[in-house]
Amino acid sequence: MAAITNLFRAVTYRGREGQIAWMLHRIAGVGVFIFLAGHIFDIFLMAFGPEVFDTLLFFYHQFLFKLMIIFGLYLGVLYHALNGIRVVIIDFWPSMNKHQAGLWRVQMVIFALAYIPSAAIMLSRMFDGH
Amino acid sequence: MQATSPARPRPASNFELYSWFFMRISAIVLFILALFHLVYMHLVIGLDAITFEIIAERWQSPGWRLFDLFLLVFGWIHGANGLRIVLDDYIHPQGWKVFVKSILYVVTFVLIVLGAYIIFTFRT
């Protein structure tokens, strides 16, 4: 219950672009980190040879997992990467601070231009039967 | 930012400064490496085409092994350091903080060792 109240307060807190940018950055970062833990471990399984590795790879070929890659991992990494670059620009070039909200909007346009076509290609591949 | 905010006391160690700097530098490195990795594996090769054979072939080249090692070290350390900051924000009791961070550091050590082990020792 406290979590729901906190979530509501977080969303309705009037931090505008900067707060939304920060919140998404954090959620995406933690999500990618959790994926990365599994990913390092599954590549380590290369040590056990092709039978074991290719058998366990079935996980990556699941329909649901592919959807999670496109709408979770890929989306999260791309957002976190672009927002991270914006943070780097502002930190190393403090006069950009007053433009941070505008920069975020520019960043989201770049995000949409990069994400939508590439996600569409990944999605169409899923239904191509390979 | 208030104009009247008092000056912060000088921290005893520069660790957080180095941590901040590392996050920016690794962000730029990962922007190139991680995005290239994702686009290459998912758009050029495609998830269904990835098998033991494909990765074994890739690791014939020391360049790809180095690329993967960079991804492993920069990616995980950047992530672990980021999570350290997140944990500091949300976990307040000192005991829990130490406990959860200890788990993070142990997992970090184990995964870097496992990942580096397979990158360096893999033979077909």
A81 CB neighbours in chain B (<8 A) are: 27, 30-31, 34-35
Q: Is residue B39 situated within a structural domain?
A: yes
CB contacts of B33 in chain A (<8 Å) are none
Is the pLDDT assigned to residue A2 strictly greater than 90?
Answer: no
- Sorted by where each begins, the domain ranges of chain A are 17-126
Burial of A5 (0-12, 13-18, 19+ CB in 10 A): exposed
Q: What are phi and psi of A123, to 5 degrees?
A: -65, -45
**pLDDT category of residue A79 using cuts at 50, 70 and 90:** very high
Nearest CB to B52: which of A40, A54, A118? A54
- Look at residue A29 in the predicted model and tell me its pLDDT: 98
pLDDT digits (tens, 9 = 90+) for A23-62: 999 999 999 999 999 999 999 999 999 999 999 888 888 8
* Structure confidence by residue, pLDDT tens digits, A87-127: 999 999 999 989 888 999 999 999 999 999 999 999 998 88
Are residues B31 and A36, on separate chains, in Cβ contact within 8 Å?
Answer: no
Cβ pair A78:B31 closer than 8 A: no
Residue B4: inside a domain, yes or no? no
Q: Is A130 on the interface with B (CB under 8 A)?
A: yes
Q: Report whether B76 contacts A40 (CB < 8 A).
A: yes
For every one of its 124 residues, what pLDDT tens digit does chain B have, with 9 covering 90 and above? 556 667 878 888 899 999 999 999 999 999 999 999 999 999 898 888 899 999 999 999 999 999 999 999 999 999 999 999 999 999 999 999 999 999 999 999 999 999 999 999 998 7
Here the CATH number for the domain that contains residue B38 is 1.20.1300.10
Q: Which residues contact A87 (CB under 8 A, 6 or more apart)?
A: A25, B24, B27
What's the number of domains chain B is made of? 1
What CATH class does A17-126 carry?
mainly alpha
Domain that holds residue B82: 18-121
Asked if residue B73 is part of any domain, the answer here is yes
